Chain A
Amino acid sequence: MHPILSALKHHKATVALVVMEIALTCAIVSNALFLIGDRLSNMQLSTGVADNELIWVRSDSLREGGTSGGAMSLEQADLAALRGMPDVTAAVRANSLPLLNASMWRSGISVQPGLPKATFNSIAMYLGTPGIVGGLGIKLEQGRDFLPQEYADYSPSANQAPPSAVIITRTLAERLWPGQSALGRPIFMGEKGKYVTHVIGVTTHLLNPTLSGRTNSEDNLLLPVRSVPGGMYVLRTEPGARDAILRDLPAVLDRVDNDRILTGSDSYARTVSDYFHDDRALIWLLLVVIGCLLALTALGVVGLSSFWVQQRTHQIGIRRAVGATRRDILRYFQVENFLIVSGGIAVGLLLAVAMNLLLMKQYELPRLPLAYLPVAALALWALGQLAVLGPALRAAAVPPVVATRSV
């Protein structure tokens, strides 16, 4: 060990540069790995609905002086026509869907009456017409589906009493009544909590239309309504029939009434995939950067080691001549590389934590879990050994006779 260290002392500048390069690579790679893990965990969230079986379509009627009754009967006629399409097993109307990435109504709610301000704010409100739970494929963990008489005329923007029944997510239930069953409990809404509705069911999962940050992504209420003005039709079908249905939709709706604008329709699976497009793009970008960085560092190490081997050919010959085996020479370069890489990793881990703290402050990222650090360290050690193997083997192949030649 000692001779290696004293040999390195002769190349302070070069060693410092390699240590710096490895440190920077280590810091960037561990933070990039962490970002990838963070995005991946977001992408694996369950939406809570039947992702691969849904299709949605938005349509705006252009009929003049539309009364709410007229709009409602058009909704009914549209739904009937959509249900009549082949392979469509259910058609309902909803105001939004998980990960639709559109704004939606949010409200404050309380679990006690008469409070001047709501205790839980910014709770998303899902509205759905009869059949919404089965139509979307929402899975109930406790309680029951809505009863036909529970569907009411309600608009969250109208400051009126909500339907008498509500279904909430397990996460929200746990937030509202920690450790207790939510079934049958009242939720208070509106000014000073003057309106009340009761929990009749709890879903395993139902994501919000948009995710902001990492928390409260399932803070929502599902309310049973009779019609959803400005909402969308959601159809359930088999995955194989989706394209045909999407193609035929406009004609089917136009046969009901063609004075309308279809503002959008898509398969829900594509909608979810679109939602995560930026995350996927970032993951690819990070992977490319990690790959380039590691390749660059490895090539840098190869270049330096080759230079050192060449420079020390004479010394290697002397060592071989006085009895060092090929194995010793090989070991020498491997240990040297290990020492340098270890130095780089030591500095790099500190840099990684510092970089993470900076990112946390600037971009609201969570703290870097320490588990990522050993992964990056191991990767760099392995990379260093791999890079030095070629030059070290070349060094080991130097015959002792070289020592007797004067270069």
Chain B
Amino acid sequence: MFGYYFDLALRSLRRNPVLTALMVLAIGLGIGASMTMLTVLHLLSGNPMPERSAQLFYPQLDPQGIEDYREGEDPPTQMTWIDAMNLLNARKGIHQAAMSGGQVTVRPGQGDHRAFYVDARFTTADFFAMFDVPFARGGGWSSSDDDRQARVIVIARTLADKLYGEGQAVGKMLRLGQNDFRVVGVIEPWRPVPHFYDLTSGGYQDGEQVFMPLSTALALHQGIGGSLECWGYMSFDNLDRKTAPCSWVQFWVQLDTPAQQQAYREFLLSYSQQQKMLGRFMRPPNTRLHDLMGWLDYNKVVPGSVQLQTLLALGFLLVCLVNTVALLLVKFLRRGGEMGVRRAMGASMRSIFAQLLAEAALVGLCGGVVGMLLTLFGLWVVRQQPAHYAGLAHLDAPMLYATFVLALCTTVLAAVFPAWRACRLPPVRALKIQ
């Protein structure tokens, strides 16, 4: 039966090549534009740690002065050194890590190589286990290395291969700035998208090349950068990050069960109360505990311009669909005579309806192909943009299927009304006009 319908559809579409091309093009344009933007949106609002995102949490505390206090205001987005260390040493989670970002100067030993900067992450021992960072060789450092301010580092494989050749890095010494560090581990390329654990320098930056114990970096004045939010008037020259009233440390904790999560919320509250009693905190306890996806939402990582463009693309698709509905309506009604004959010969209203939908599905399928080609082109254009996320814009298998499903569904849906109108035409009238 379907074969027959498709045969009929093919004939009918061939009879009006201009109209058919117009419909296919309209569907293709609409699908291409919306799938390009939906792919980018899908990519940017994706889950960076699908297996573990529900267990990773970002606590917030409010150590600011009382002067500007307004009830209900959100606490700072980062922690002070003291609070981060207190939470770290309390060890209330499965894993926990404090961290900050920055740059280090890599000074390759051999004569003519010039020094260069690479992005670095200064953190604590649990970072690698908590975020499931894949190691190529060696491993992370221990928490006793954190305590001893050990001069150890983990580096990315690209950097390791560049400096030492493949598989040679572990155990080597590397000079960063004014100090020498022993390489204890090499990690595989690792770039969570979004860059969830530190959103202060944009949501989609590249992964870091060097990982170093936070305490070591502080002691040796390695280039801790990132955002620094302070309260009160003070000098920022020769700032002591350990004591200054500034928040600059990101803190993540892994909590596996709801009970652990509830216990951690209570712990944050009691910690705030205790700090207030000690006179360190001025404000009433003001704590938050976002999970990973909640934290991304809170920080509105997806750029507004991308959302706007997606909206625009969907609006465009809507116009394309209305256009298709109108053209299909015209096309179906014009064939009143043919349908009248078929009805008179005994075809049921249902089979006419099915035949018309089959015709629309064929248009949708062709539109899907055009749409996919346009999506590929659209993503290529996106990749030429200088944005951080641009290089990631590729069509993956689910989005490829989604393109066809969307094209097919929207076209068939668009055809429902015209087909219904057309198959309701009384066969007698259609024949009489003839």
Q: Give which listed residue, A21, A297, A307, A407, contacts B330 with CB less than 8 A.
A: A307
**A303, B309: Cα distance in complex, Å:** 29
**A289, B52: Cα distance in complex, Å:** 40
**A105, B326: Cα distance in complex, Å:** 58
Interface digits, B218-245 against A, CB 8 Å rule (1 contact, 0 not)? 0000000000000001111100000000
**Distance (Å) between the CB of A240 and the closest chain B CB?**
26
Chain A CB within 8 A of B149 CB: no
CB under 8 Å from chain A, chain B span 42-99: none
Q: Give which listed residue, B107, B304, B326, contacts A363 with CB less than 8 A.
A: B304
Binding stretch for chain A, among B128-136, B287-295, B314-322: B314-322
Specify which chain B residues have a CB less than 8 angstroms from the CB of A160 in the assembled complex. 235
Give the secondary structure class of B's interface.
helix
Give B227's nearest chain A residue, CB to CB.
A103
Give B324's nearest chain A residue, CB to CB.
A300
Given A261-B116, A285-B309, A307-B334, are A296 and B319 also a contact pair (CB < 8 Å)? yes
Specify which chain B residues have a CB less than 8 angstroms from the CB of A190 in the assembled complex. 233
B117 touches A159 (CB 8 A): no
B33 touches A296 (CB 8 A): no
Q: Give which listed residue, B22, B29, B115, B235, contacts A303 with CB less than 8 A.
A: B22
B319 touches A159 (CB 8 A): no
Chain A CB within 8 A of B323 CB: yes
Chain B CB within 8 A of A20 CB: yes
Specify which chain A residues have a CB less than 8 angstroms from the CB of B357 in the assembled complex. none
Given A289-B33, A296-B26, are A28 and B326 also a contact pair (CB < 8 Å)? no
Interface digits, A234-278 against B, CB 8 Å rule (1 contact, 0 not)? 000000000000000000000000000101000000000010011
Given A281-B385, A289-B33, are A297 and B115 also a contact pair (CB < 8 Å)? no
A261 touches B117 (CB 8 A): yes
**A212, B315: Cα distance in complex, Å:** 27
A13 touches B323 (CB 8 A): no
B327 touches A300 (CB 8 A): yes
Specify which chain B residues have a CB less than 8 angstroms from the CB of A274 in the assembled complex. 386
Give A281's nearest chain B residue, CB to CB.
B385
Chain A CB within 8 A of B305 CB: yes
Chain A CB within 8 A of B19 CB: yes
Given A64-B178, A158-B236, A303-B19, are A289 and B316 also a contact pair (CB < 8 Å)? yes
B329 touches A293 (CB 8 A): no
CB under 8 Å from chain B, chain A span 183-215: 190-191
Chain B CB within 8 A of A339 CB: no
**A28, B318: Cα distance in complex, Å:** 11
Specify which chain A residues have a CB less than 8 angstroms from the CB of B253 in the assembled complex. none
**A274, B387: Cα distance in complex, Å:** 11
Interface digits, B114-149 against A, CB 8 Å rule (1 contact, 0 not)? 111100000000000000000000000000000000
Interface digits, A293-306 against B, CB 8 Å rule (1 contact, 0 not)? 10011011001100
**Distance (Å) between the CB of B226 and the closest chain A CB?**
11
A32 touches B319 (CB 8 A): no
Q: Number of B residues whose C-beta is below 8 Å from A?
A: 42
Specify which chain A residues have a CB less than 8 angstroms from the CB of B385 in the assembled complex. 277-278, 281
Q: Give which listed residue, B117, B319, B325, contacts A263 with CB less than 8 A.
A: B117
Chain A CB within 8 A of B105 CB: yes
Specify which chain A residues have a CB less than 8 angstroms from the CB of B330 in the assembled complex. 14, 303-304, 307
**Distance (Å) between the CB of A351 and the closest chain B CB?**
10
Specify which chain A residues have a CB less than 8 angstroms from the CB of B434 in the assembled complex. 407
**Distance (Å) between the CB of B8 and the closest chain A CB?**
20
**A68, B417: Cα distance in complex, Å:** 78
B319 touches A28 (CB 8 A): yes
A28 touches B312 (CB 8 A): yes
B105 touches A62 (CB 8 A): yes
Chain B CB within 8 A of A292 CB: yes
Q: Give which listed residue, B178, B236, B421, contacts A157 with CB less than 8 A.
A: B236
**A292, B323: Cα distance in complex, Å:** 12
Q: Give which listed residue, B236, B237, B319, B386, contacts A24 with CB less than 8 A.
A: B319
A155 touches B237 (CB 8 A): yes
Given A277-B386, A300-B326, A363-B304, are A13 and B235 also a contact pair (CB < 8 Å)? no
**A289, B378: Cα distance in complex, Å:** 12
Chain A CB within 8 A of B308 CB: yes
**A347, B334: Cα distance in complex, Å:** 28
Chain B CB within 8 A of A359 CB: yes
Interface digits, A1-22 against B, CB 8 Å rule (1 contact, 0 not)? 0000000000001100110110
Given A28-B315, A261-B105, are A17 and B115 also a contact pair (CB < 8 Å)? no
Specify which chain A residues have a CB less than 8 angstroms from the CB of B305 in the assembled complex. 278, 282
Chain B CB within 8 A of A25 CB: yes
B312 touches A21 (CB 8 A): no
**A263, B114: Cα distance in complex, Å:** 12
Specify which chain B residues have a CB less than 8 angstroms from the CB of A299 in the assembled complex. 22, 26, 323
Specify which chain B residues have a CB less than 8 angstroms from the CB of A13 in the assembled complex. 329, 417, 421
Q: Give which listed residue, B115, B233, B237, contacts A62 with CB less than 8 A.
A: B115
**A369, B236: Cα distance in complex, Å:** 45
Specify which chain A residues have a CB less than 8 angstroms from the CB of B312 in the assembled complex. 28, 32, 285-286, 289
Interface digits, A155-168 against B, CB 8 Å rule (1 contact, 0 not)? 10111100000000
A297 touches B117 (CB 8 A): no
Q: Give which listed residue, A32, A159, A303, A311, contacts B327 with CB less than 8 A.
A: A303
Specify which chain A residues have a CB less than 8 angstroms from the CB of B234 in the assembled complex. 159
A21 touches B323 (CB 8 A): yes
A20 touches B235 (CB 8 A): no
Give B117's nearest chain A residue, CB to CB.
A261
B319 touches A21 (CB 8 A): yes
**A14, B417: Cα distance in complex, Å:** 11
Specify which chain A residues have a CB less than 8 angstroms from the CB of B320 in the assembled complex. 296
Interface digits, B403-434 against A, CB 8 Å rule (1 contact, 0 not)? 00000000000000100010000000000001
B308 touches A363 (CB 8 A): yes
Q: Looking at A21, A62, A263, A363, which has the most chain B CB atoms within 10 Å of its CB?
A: A21
Interface digits, A34-48 against B, CB 8 Å rule (1 contact, 0 not)? 000000000000000
Interface digits, A351-370 against B, CB 8 Å rule (1 contact, 0 not)? 00000000100110000000
A20 touches B322 (CB 8 A): yes
A191 touches B115 (CB 8 A): no
Specify which chain B residues have a CB less than 8 angstroms from the CB of A21 in the assembled complex. 319, 322-323, 326
Give A25's nearest chain B residue, CB to CB.
B319
A293 touches B116 (CB 8 A): no
B117 touches A296 (CB 8 A): no
Interface digits, B190-220 against A, CB 8 Å rule (1 contact, 0 not)? 0000000000000000000000000000000
Give B23's nearest chain A residue, CB to CB.
A303
Give A68's nearest chain B residue, CB to CB.
B237
Q: Looking at A18, A25, A296, which has the most chain B CB atoms within 10 Å of its CB?
A: A296
B29 touches A292 (CB 8 A): yes
**A64, B304: Cα distance in complex, Å:** 44
- Sorted nearest first, the 7 A-B pairs with minimum C-beta distance are A157-B236, A191-B233, A17-B326, A159-B235, A158-B237, A21-B322, A307-B330
- Can you report 17 residue pairs joining A to B where beta carbons are below 8 Å apart? A21-B322, A21-B323, A158-B236, A159-B234, A191-B233, A277-B386, A278-B305, A278-B385, A282-B305, A292-B33, A296-B319, A299-B26, A299-B323, A300-B22, A303-B19, A307-B334, A310-B334
Besides A24-B315, A158-B235, A292-B33, 14 other A-B contacts (C-beta < 8 A): A17-B322, A17-B326, A28-B316, A28-B319, A191-B233, A261-B114, A277-B385, A285-B309, A285-B312, A292-B316, A296-B26, A299-B26, A300-B22, A303-B19
